[in-house]
Amino acid sequence: MLFTNACSGDSTRGRSPVNPIPDIPAGMRSAVLGAGCFWCVEAYFERVAGVQEVISGYAGGTTVNPNYKEVSQGASDQVEVVMVIYDPLQVSYRALIDFFWTTHDASKNNGVWPDFGPQYRSILLYSNASEKDTIAASRNAYQSAQNMQIATEIKALKMFYTAETYHQDFAQLNPKHNYIQQILVPKLKKLGFSL
């Protein structure tokens, strides 16, 4: 099948410098999460009202300055994630976490179809005790409503590394890419969105 390492783009391209946590504009907040290939997760959250920007990156591990080749091949302990920058006057952190559960099968801890391996695992990274409590409340409500056990990793955010430039807004800039057409478009339709 075409997508054994489905989120693999041209990993031989020159990589941009990988930067730590970006500055968040005044009045905005951020949420860092992963649910499979960041091309998809970025596209999901870009469609949520109140979200100002979504940045693809790496977090959840200890590898310093990871690059796409290392992460996508499982040669680091980092996870493909996104940083969702949002306006809390328009959308709450709880609403973003509630939406997160609907984007993938959170009962699995080995990746999100069709991308498998720890680098594609479901993960929520909190920045403070309030976010941690919100995640727990949302998770408990979703588990109860769906009658399922959630396997999503939940941990403190230590560092976020911005992914290489060619991964940012990937679906928007590459709408004809096979992965976007065959994997993302059907997932977006299930969520009630279009590309």
**Residue numbers annotated as active site:** 37
Q: How far is 86 from 111, CA to CA, in rounded Å?
A: 26
- Give CA 63 to chain center in angstroms: 18
CA distances from 30 to 21, 57, 70, 88 (A): 10, 13, 25, 9
Strand 122-126 to 153-156 pairing? parallel
Q: Which of 55, 39, 43 is nearest to 6 (CA)?
A: 39
167 class by beta-carbon count within 10 Å (0-12 exposed, 13-18 middle, 19+ buried): buried
